[in-house]
Amino acid sequence: MTAVIDEPARTPGRWAAPPRPVWEERPSGAGLAGKGIALSFACLAILFPLWIVLVTSLSSRKTIDESGGLVMVPKGITFVAYRELLSGGQVTRAAVVSVLITLVGTLFSMSVSVLCAYGLSRSGSLGHRWILMILLATMFFSAGLIPTYLLVQSLGLTDTYLALILPSAISVFNILVLRGFFTGISQELIDSARIDGAGEFRILWQIVMPLSRAVLAVITLFYAVGYWSAWFNASLYLNDQDMMPLQNVMIQLVQKQEAPVGMGQAIKTGQLSALAVQMAVMVMALLPVAVLSPFVQKHFKKGMLTGAVKG
């Protein structure tokens, strides 16, 4: 890179642009404005709907009625919809189910995937090419919905939470990303641990995993989001309404416009706005993801790129 000579030395603010190479033209005002508008538009297209959902969920029935439906400007924040939803009943139960499925499922998926990825990360180990082929081949075909459905049913998993975890527990892509990262760890480090008498499990736990925090965070997020967002398996394999996770309850409440069980009366008598309740459920569904993903964001690129090195 060219050194910048003509810029006076100064400590740049965190929002300031880094110094520009001498050969590069100054951006024109129109160009900057155009870029700003385009980027703002893209970001607003994402944030504006979320804003409406959030504000409406926090609005009182009066505010919602006055605005003729969805609320754009917050006026008199109230948590009444959340209090109702979280005071026991259908949505509370569904939220607990979703949280538990996500925690247990993610832990299970991560354990299995990390073990498998590490087991395959040693070049020249017995059979690792064959095992890799078996895993990779599944990226090319899928057995189909009907045979999978019949299998899960035959295994007796119907109406159990195992049906929401086991069939989709591992993603071969995630294993490949992990493996790509593990193979990049310096062999000397692993050798020295081995000389010190560490077994494979110990090497994985004390050497490899601490060095792979970034990619582990990314893959954990991927799995967790997968479990949190899943609704199809529940709709296929669960018949009991009381067992349904949050996403499936959200389908009933928001898409089919049903009132949550036990709350219909409060809505009918006007204590509660059905719209605010719907929006509050949506906020509950998006909140964990929206809070967690920005923290992992800086690792995304690395994680996705190691995934590209395969074979």
Partner 1 sequence: MSNSTVPRSRAEADEAQKTPVAAGGATGHGGARTSGKLSLRLRFRRDRVLLLMTLPAVLLVLLFNYVPILGNVVAFQDYDPYVSDNGVVSILHSPWVGLENFQRLFEDSAFWSAVQNTLVLFFLQLVLYFPIPILLALLINSVVRPRVRAVSQAILYLPHFFSWVLVIAVFQQLFGGAGILSQLLRQHGYDGIDIMTDPDTFRFLITAQSVWKDAGWGIIVFLAALASVNPDLYEAAAMDGANRWRRMWHVTLPALRPVIALLLVLRVGDALTVGFEQILLQRDAVGPGASEVLDTFVWWNGVRNQDFGYAAAAGLIKGVISLGLVLVANKVAHLMGEQGVYKK
* Among candidate residues 24, 43, 46, the one with its CA nearest the CA of residue 35: 43
Cβ at position 274, least distance to partner 1 in Å: 10
Q: How far is the CB of 125 from partner 1 (least distance, A)?
A: 4
Q: x/- string (CB under 8 A) for partner 1, residues 189-218?
A: -xx--xx---xxx--x--------------
Packing angle between helix 90-119 and helix 128-137, nearest 10 degrees?
140
Contact region for partner 1 (CB under 8 A) — 34-42, 76-84, 211-219, 258-266?
34-42
Site for partner 1, residues 246 to 305, rule: CB under 8 A: 247, 250-251, 254-255, 278-279, 282, 285-286, 289-290, 293-294, 297-298, 300-301, 304-305
| DSSP character at residue 260 | P
153: contact with partner 1 by CB under 8 A:
yes
Nearest alpha carbon to residue 187 among 111, 114, 125: 125
User: Of the listed pieces 87-95, 170-178, 211-219, 262-270, which binds partner 1 according to CB under 8 A?
Assistant: 170-178
Q: Which two tokens stand for residue 267?
A: 């809505």
Cβ nearer to partner 1, comparing 236 with 261: 236
| Alpha helix stretches (DSSP H) within the chain | 29-57, 61-66, 80-85, 90-119, 128-137, 145-154, 162-165, 172-183, 187-195, 200-203, 209-211, 213-229, 232-237, 246-250, 264-268, 274-306
Q: Is 37 in the site for partner 1 (CB under 8 A)?
A: no
* Phi, psi angle pair for 299, to nearest 5°: -95, -10
**Of residues 74 and 147, the one with the C-beta less far from partner 1:** 147
Where in 89-148 is the site for partner 1 (CB under 8 A)?
111-113, 115-116, 118-128, 131, 134-136, 138-148
Shortest Å distance, C-beta 294 to partner 1: 5
Restricting to residues 224-243, name those near partner 1 by CB under 8 A.
Answer: 225, 228-232, 236
Q: Which amino acid would we find at residue 242?
A: D
